[in-house]
Amino acid sequence: MPMRAPVAVLCSGGLDSAVLLVDLARSTGRAVPLFVRAGHPWEDAERRALECFLDAVGESRVAPPRDLALPMADVYGEHWSMSGRGGPGWTAPDEAVELRGRNLVLLSKALVAAAIEGWPTVALGSLAGNPFPDATHHFFAGIAAVASEALRAPLAVVAPYRELSKADVIRRGADLPLELTLSCLRPTPDGEHCGDCNKCRERVEAFAAAQVPDRARYACSARR
């Protein structure tokens, strides 16, 4: 019987994509994590977090991570996501975290790699409540259709957690070392959460809502 083709999973080292990666590896038999570098200052810390998480999980059905590069500094310029200055703080609304075209950037290179490698499905960890236009089922279906035509390969983009909250994902992955994942816009040099950005607040509140202990380390403990 022929082996099922692996599922490619856009994986940043963050909580949502890490849980999705293991989830899909276990349910499909093989998953390939794709880490896309666009030039954001948090990427080195995220990549280390992903490696630590995968080492701790030890899931044989997860392939070694593939690193892809698609630098965006020439487009985003001095935006906080490139300069590391003035990023959305603890009280900032979720809309302040938008990186225009983020999923378009990530999926464009991932889909080319998927067509070349023979991965018919690319998955990403978009959650319920994501307000951005490149995180809808309509967008995912559209970009998959365009890529399939351009690359002469049947491709699908799926977001299995699109109807779940972050608290739902935490409960789903409660058996995993979630403390090794990184959900922070300004991680410290040693990879701790800053404890003072929008993403840290989102994470802290989600663990509280899930009623699951958060064992991650935060440089600023006053928020917890």
By DSSP bridging, strand 31-37 and strand 156-158 are: unpaired
Q: Mean pLDDT across the stretch 36-54?
A: 97
pLDDT of residue 15: 97
Q: Mean pLDDT across the stretch 34-43?
A: 97
Separation CA 209–CA 73 (nearest Å): 36
pLDDT of residue 86: 87
Q: Mean pLDDT across the stretch 190-210?
A: 95
Q: Mean pLDDT across the stretch 122-130?
A: 95
Token duo for residue 205: 């509140």
| pLDDT interval class at 1 (50, 70, 90) | very low
Amino acid found at 112: V
> Among the listed ranges 21-35, 80-94, 168-182, 197-211, which one has the minimum average pLDDT value?
80-94
Residues 155, 39, 137: CA angle, nearest 5 degrees: 30
Percent of the chain clearing pLDDT 70 (strictly above): 97
**pLDDT over 70 at 18, yes or no:** yes
Token duo for residue 65: 């991570």
**pLDDT over 80 at 221, yes or no:** no
Residue 108's φ and ψ, nearest 5 degrees, are -60, -45
| pLDDT interval class at 11 (50, 70, 90) | very high
Q: What residues pair up with 36 in beta bridges, in sequence order?
A: 68
Q: Mean pLDDT across the stretch 173-182?
A: 97
> CA 76 → CA 80, 82, 87, 100, 218, distances in Å?
9, 7, 14, 9, 28
Separation CA 164–CA 150 (nearest Å): 32
Q: Mean pLDDT across the stretch 115-141?
A: 95
pTM assigned to the model = 0.94
CA-based nearest residue to 32, from 106, 123, 116, 105: 123
| pLDDT interval class at 2 (50, 70, 90) | very low
**pLDDT over 80 at 68, yes or no:** yes
Q: What residues pair up with 66 in beta bridges, in sequence order?
A: 34
Q: Mean pLDDT across the stretch 121-149?
A: 96
Residue-wise pLDDT for 114-125, tens only, equals 999 999 999 999
pLDDT of residue 196: 94
